[in-house]
Chain A
Amino acid sequence: MANVPADLKYAKSHEWARIQGTEATIGITDHAQHELTDVVFVELPEVGKKVKSGDACAVVESVKTASDVYAPLSGEVTAVNKAVVDNPALVNSEPYTGGWFYKLNLSNPAEANALMTADQYQAQIGG
């Protein structure tokens, strides 16, 4: 069964956000990495890029296919995880820790209210 940490917020499109004040760390969920399997490539946005919630702003590729990763919140990219670019398998092995994608400085922190709680996301994925 997929791991869904209680302290994170979730988007329908399987991204998670760890929100601390006006900062958020973004990644893809354990369920998503399990569905993708064998992540072989991750493409991240550039630091400084402004993203809007719902924008496709990263790409994750498995052996079989390329999938867009959407921004769950709006803001400016302040950091990207170089370790996951060098070792994409981190998305599979540590989706919520070493496998994070990028950090955002939020332009509209209230958007977080529209994201799902762990319970709601668990229900969505049929957990």
Chain B
Amino acid sequence: MKRTPLFEIHQQLGAKLIEFGGWEMPVQYTSIVDEHLTVRKAAGLFDISHMGEFFVSGSGAESFLNHALTNDVRKLTPGLGQYTLCCNERGGVIDDLYVYRLTHGEYLLIVNASRIDTDFEWLQRLLKSSAQRGQVNLHNASDATGAVAVQGPRVIEFIDACFQGPASGGAAVEKPSTLQKNQIAAFNFHGARVWVSRTGYTGEDGFEVVSPAELISAVWKTIQEKGQPCGLKPAGLGARDTLRTEVCYPLYGHELDEQTTPIEAGVGFFVALDKGEFMGRPTLLDQKTKGVSKKLVAFKMTDKSAPPRPHYPIRAKGSAVGEVVSGTQSPSLGLGIGLGYVPPELARPQTPLEIEIRGKCAGAVIVPKPFYRKAV
């Protein structure tokens, strides 16, 4: 199993460790519920160094990425990022990721840990057969890079104490707190360059920080120290999963896989069908106009029951109609919530469902996404 540069810190903090996508990662430090609620009320610090970082640069980078990814990178000015997906020929999702335009001709891609090798091989293959192959440099910096996410309503109170402006690249901001959602900027930290973006995977305000691997421990310690007075605590993958489930963000391997398209997964907003030809477009266009055979829905349990879990069968009026892909007890709402695929004719809020839990059926109902919205 691989370990991140923060592994020793997790051990010192007494984290419980689990395997995730080939990595030995902290699932929790104290309790998932406590860490979850800390992120909702104050601030939490996550190690996301397992995630992959690719740098794509050169005069052909824009056109190459617009062929490989579903969203339109031409909408990105330097210092801005977007959620996007990478699809195969059939529109199936190879990965979902963030792409940032750092400078006019340089991009940073943040991909899922379990998909680093698959993604990189896929992009290399696409590049080889692309007209831009001489004008694109594709570099996998995952092993040389560390990353953390600092998330929660109180992060804004201490982020500027962690990284001093003005920015030296990306968005031209004086300090991190002036970054707008999805903006990214470079700041000098211990004599090196770290990238700070206003993004996250929790549904709360917050930032993600990408640094050289050897600096990430210092980044972690700085954020811990500056955030402590605001109630910041380290948070593990357990809370990361319940937080993202409450806001219905997809997790690769659950909502998304190579047999599922972005349209089916309800993330068609990030598919720019109007930008011209790109990988998977014919299928995605077809689904957008003619419809899909399965649709991702959010449901909550109506009976007092065990929480729903991945692979539990979904039934409607007695017959099997689909499968749960994510499910948990929602710490914010105090009830069982889940996401699953059902036929499109059932995919309407208020449709009653049954979730089969250890051979018994428990009542559930489809609800609008997301389950949780942060206070404005």
Contacts and interface: CB of A to CB of B under 8 A. Distances in A.
Are A and B a genuine interacting pair, yes or no?
yes
Contacts of B329: 40-41, 61, 63
A64 B306 contact: no
Number of chain A interface residues as a range: 10 to 19
Nearest to A64: B238
B28 A37 contact: yes
A46 to B, nearest CB: 12
Given A40-B307, A41-B306, A41-B307, A64 B27 contact: yes
B306 A63 contact: no
A106 B16 CA distance: 37
A40 to B, nearest CB: 4
Tell me the interface secondary structure of chain B in the complex.
mixed
Given A63-B238, A63-B242, A63-B331, A37 B306 contact: no
Contacts of B331: 63
B305 to A, nearest CB: 8
Interface string B309-339: 1000000000000000000110100000000
A59 B358 contact: yes
A43 B359 CA distance: 13
A47 interface: no
A103 to B, nearest CB: 23
Nearest to A85: B304
A38 interface: yes
A66 B324 CA distance: 15
A57 to B, nearest CB: 12
A59 B358 CA distance: 10
Nearest to A60: B306
A116 B309 CA distance: 34
Contact of B306 (A35, A38, A43): A43
Interface string A53-82: 000000101111110000000000000000
A38 B33 contact: yes
Contacts of B242: 63
